[in-house]
Chain A
């Protein structure tokens, strides 16, 4: 049974620094008035048009194994292969920041307002990532508060198309979760629409289980190795709470 999750707009409003980061612009560039104005305008448009919403459904290790196998195109060895069989809980998820923002990005390009379009595109991408973070932390807190997780355990999201989970895995994930109910559809090439949408699985497991090497075959093609940051952030958060 899937549950619709309302996500407050202000929780997914990216900072100006996050908007710039999406365009490989250093944060100190905000000292440039024109860049700062463009970033603020993008944030204001995001705040006006974003319609963040999520969908969540619990699943079992067995069921997820079938979903994860997808069309059999995953890498031979993956992070999820190691983690999901020993996880405590698994939740399938999908989020979107909605269609109006995507339409506005296109409209800005049509009007030759390229800089504003690129800035809003970056804001929408950052907002979608923040929406994933919001539902991840929300359910982690819920699991922690009712005692299903302890302080040495945490929740992290994983998505098809990343870390060896082939993007064709979207098909079985959609078949089970039915994100169409919140307005997200999947094309034949496994592309989600609205474009600023994210789907995947939330994995609740021991924090130490998320300590993975970034030496898998697919890691060579990864530009950010955020798996390492995610693990270290989890450790830091728990140290301070």
Chain B
């Protein structure tokens, strides 16, 4: 178990090389893949998330930790597939049609992956149909919509309306994020939540899939 603590500690420090080395060691020692993931990588990112929320660390520290997390995750992924280990949930994210700003969406995706979710990133300029079709095909738990432009905000409403038409509204939750948005707007269009940042998005999505 000390090895898992080391993975978590090195991930917190954002040391990509050491996290990869330690994850390899854990795999060689035949530690359970799920345990390496949960008690090593995800545990480390959870600490990072808490420190970020408390303003003890800042965005670069979170992103360096995320990079280290990805290095470990890349090693575990083949095993997870081989062993049929499910992720804790599936989230389809994208920047809505007409909008090409994607840094906020990227950061949310990074945080969600760091928390152990499978993230299907559709990129930017994504049509409502693409969001809903993908969510249905992938049986996603949550759809995450991002927009920075006021002109593209109405597209979010179209996604919600299409989710209702296609019968997934309420089953597949919809979260929204972006500078011009608010909780009020989320309520107005029938989205399930407005998420100010990646940490809030992780909290919301965890809540929707029943993880505290």
Please list the residues of chain A having a beta carbon within 8 angstroms of any beta carbon in chain B: 23-25, 29, 34-35, 38, 105, 109, 112-115, 117-119, 121, 161, 166-168, 187-191, 193, 195, 221
In the complex, are the beta carbons of B107 and A34 less than 8 A apart?
Answer: no
In the complex, are the beta carbons of B58 and A35 less than 8 A apart?
Answer: yes
In the complex, are the beta carbons of A190 and B67 less than 8 A apart?
Answer: no
In the complex, are the beta carbons of A112 and B60 less than 8 A apart?
Answer: no
A166 to B149, CA, bound (A): 11
Chain A residues closer than 8 Å to B152, beta-carbon distance: 189, 191
A113 to B59, CA, bound (A): 13
- Closest chain A CB from B20 CB (angstroms): 12
In the complex, are the beta carbons of B106 and A109 less than 8 A apart?
Answer: yes
Partner of B58 from A25, A117, A166, A221 at Cβ < 8 Å: A25
A115 to B69, CA, bound (A): 13
In the complex, what residue of chain B is closest to A114 when comparing beta carbons?
Answer: B63
A161 to B150, CA, bound (A): 8
- Closest chain B CB from A239 CB (angstroms): 34
For the A-B complex with A23-B60, A117-B63, A167-B150 known, give 16 more contacts whose Cβ atoms are closer than 8 Å: A25-B60, A112-B67, A114-B63, A114-B66, A115-B64, A118-B59, A118-B63, A118-B107, A119-B60, A121-B103, A161-B149, A161-B150, A188-B98, A189-B149, A189-B152, A195-B100
12 pairs from A and B in contact (CB 8 Å cutoff): A23-B58, A34-B64, A35-B61, A114-B64, A115-B59, A115-B60, A115-B64, A115-B67, A118-B59, A119-B60, A191-B101, A195-B100
Partner of A38 from B60, B66, B99, B100 at Cβ < 8 Å: B60
In the complex, are the beta carbons of B59 and A25 less than 8 A apart?
Answer: yes
Q: Mark B144-166, 1 if CB is under 8 A from A, else 0.
A: 00000111100000000000000
In the complex, are the beta carbons of A189 and B99 less than 8 A apart?
Answer: yes
Q: Mark B47-65, 1 if CB is under 8 A from A, else 0.
A: 0000000000011110110
A23 to B107, CA, bound (A): 12
Please list the residues of chain B having a beta carbon within 8 angstroms of any beta carbon in chain A: 14, 58-61, 63-64, 66-67, 70, 97-101, 103, 106-107, 110, 149-152, 180, 182
A116 to B98, CA, bound (A): 26
- Closest chain B CB from A205 CB (angstroms): 27
A119 to B110, CA, bound (A): 15
A166 to B180, CA, bound (A): 12
- Closest chain B CB from A126 CB (angstroms): 14
A105 to B106, CA, bound (A): 12
In the complex, are the beta carbons of A34 and B60 less than 8 A apart?
Answer: yes
In the complex, are the beta carbons of A189 and B103 less than 8 A apart?
Answer: no
Chain A residues closer than 8 Å to B107, beta-carbon distance: 114, 118
A190 to B61, CA, bound (A): 34
- Closest chain A CB from B104 CB (angstroms): 10
Partner of A168 from B14, B66, B151 at Cβ < 8 Å: B151
Across the A-B interface, give the 7 residue pairs with the lowest CB-CB distance, nearest first: A189-B98, A114-B63, A115-B63, A115-B60, A189-B151, A25-B58, A23-B59
Chain B residues closer than 8 Å to A189, beta-carbon distance: 97-99, 149, 151-152
Chain A residues closer than 8 Å to B151, beta-carbon distance: 167-168, 189-191
In the complex, what residue of chain A is closest to B152 when comparing beta carbons?
Answer: A189
Partner of A29 from B58, B98, B100, B182 at Cβ < 8 Å: B58
A113 to B151, CA, bound (A): 31
Chain A residues closer than 8 Å to B70, beta-carbon distance: 112
Chain A residues closer than 8 Å to B61, beta-carbon distance: 34-35
In the complex, are the beta carbons of A193 and B60 less than 8 A apart?
Answer: no
- Closest chain A CB from B161 CB (angstroms): 18
Partner of A195 from B60, B63, B64, B101 at Cβ < 8 Å: B101
A168 to B180, CA, bound (A): 15
In the complex, are the beta carbons of A114 and B100 less than 8 A apart?
Answer: no
A37 to B180, CA, bound (A): 32
Chain A residues closer than 8 Å to B101, beta-carbon distance: 191, 195
Chain B residues closer than 8 Å to A24, beta-carbon distance: 58-59
A191 to B97, CA, bound (A): 11
In the complex, are the beta carbons of A118 and B150 less than 8 A apart?
Answer: no
A210 to B180, CA, bound (A): 25
